Amino acid sequence: MALSGFVEFFQKGKTFRPKKKFTHGTMRYSLYKQAQASLNSGINLRNVVKLPPGEDLNDWIAVHVVDFFNRINLIYGTISEYCDSTSCPTMSGGARFEYLWADGDKYKKPTALPAPQYVSLLMDWIETQINNESLFPVSTDIPFPKSFIPLCRKILTRLFRVFVHVYIHHFDRIVAIGAEPHINTCYKHFYYFVTEFDLINHKELEPLAEMTAKVCKDAVLNARQTTVPGSANGR
């Protein structure tokens, strides 16, 4: 299926969260439209993620973090009715990886939660971060804080865990609704972006390494990466 139908496809389904939008007429809106135009052109996704000449890296990353937040919300929305505390009592990616939630506020210590509760807390947390203008400035007059890249690393690492859970525990549903090509495209786009700018630790990518090798055929995976238990809290 054509890449241009990707967002349209998911917008027909259940939306898990309202979309975060860029303000029309701003530089970041222009960057977003530029990124979308490249995606819809069907060119190589590895090239699409590269920083356009003359553009600011922080702005480019901010645009993509928000876009991936929107897309992964939509992806989870397509399977959310099949993901409950009975079917998914832990936020896991198979038997070897379990993700624990900690936010430094209500959950000060890493805590095991059912997958839907973990994802709901995660999306609420991300939404709070990207709506905080001191963390994600909306004006070019306001500089990005020093914490911006580490925060984006944490956001993207946690979003990756949603991919892990969806692929490993709900792949049959994805296939049943014909969404596999679209989700694979989103995953490739995400994977190429985070590896282009080294935004996720290689060990975090391990749960989907085998699938990545098939979906991203030109991906260069770290052959020396080791398998580690996934008791991650994003710290």
DSSP state of 35: H
Is 170 assigned a ligand-binding role in the annotation? yes
Whose CA is closest to 232, among 113, 131, 148?
113
The two structure tokens encoding residue 101: 């939630």
**Whole-angstrom distance, CA of residue 145 vs CA of residue 3:** 34
- b/e code 151-164 from CB counts within 10 Å (16+ = b): bbbbbbbbbbbbbb
Is 216 assigned a ligand-binding role in the annotation? no
Task: Answer whether 124's CB lies under 8 Å from 104's CB.
Answer: no
Task: Answer whether 118's CB lies under 8 Å from 88's CB.
Answer: no
Q: Residue for token digits 């993620």?
A: 49
Binding site for Zn(2+): what residues are annotated? 83, 88, 165, 170
Annotated binding site: 83, 88, 165, 170
